[in-house]
Amino acid sequence: MLLDIWAELSVYSIPEIIAVLASLTYVILATREHRGCWLAGIIGSSIYVIVFFQYKLYMDSALNIFYVVMAVYGWLMWQNRQSKVDMLAAATQSKTTIKEWRCTKHINAIALTILLSALSGYYLDNYTDAAFPYLDSLTTWSSFLATWMVVNKILENWLYWIVIDAASIYLYINKELYFTALLFGLYVIIATYGYLHWKKLYQ
């Protein structure tokens, strides 16, 4: 019995806990606009690729491959922006380049996300053994969008994350990924702080 429990912890919980800690580090640093967030993101997302695949959350697994790629891109993008600031700005000038989207851009982005979620959800539901195909698809495509917004410092990305993270809590509790569900509960709080902090910097 004890050996079975230890085997379960070794295969799932320990990698999950490491991924949770790395992911939490990522989002905290991201709210502070610290470039090191992308290194933590690479570690956490790489582990989650495997963990989510084991739990048949195939869209989430694919999403984390995207996260790794975007983390590399984010690392390079934020370095380029910082270099320009170092050359052109005074030492006390803010390094932020935070932007807002127009309402029409949000509507178009959300409509496209829903369409893609419906298409991938239908495929997963009918041709694979995926768990929660439609919800998994919705949170995944929404996360693709929100991640792109983070990299490009779109202020409203944090509002998207609040909704995505809240929906993800339900998904992970049902798959018994309790540490990850707890992480996403913290994400809701951190995303709220991130929005308020970025809004202050933007203004």
The terminus-to-terminus CA distance of the chain in angstroms comes to 58
Q: pLDDT band at residue 4, thresholds of 50, 70 and 90?
A: low
Lowest mean pLDDT among 80-84, 116-120, 130-134: 80-84
What would the pLDDT profile of 59-76 be if each residue is shown by its tens digit? Answer: 999 999 988 998 898 888
Is the pLDDT assigned to residue 153 strictly greater than 90? no
- What would the mean pLDDT of 1-25 be, rounded to a whole number? 70
The whole-chain average pLDDT of the chain stands at 84
Q: Residue 121: which residues within 8 A CB-CB, separation 6 or more? A: 133, 134, 136, 137, 138
Which DSSP symbol is given to 130?
Answer: -
Q: What is the reported pLDDT for 88?
A: 45
Q: What is the mean pLDDT of residues 187-196?
A: 90
Spatial neighbors of 124 by CB under 8 A, at least 6 apart, are 58, 59, 130, 133, 136, 137
Distance CA 140, CA 116 (A): 10
**By three-state DSSP, how is residue 134 classified?**
helix
Q: Distance (Å, rounded) from C-alpha 137 to C-alpha 124?
A: 9
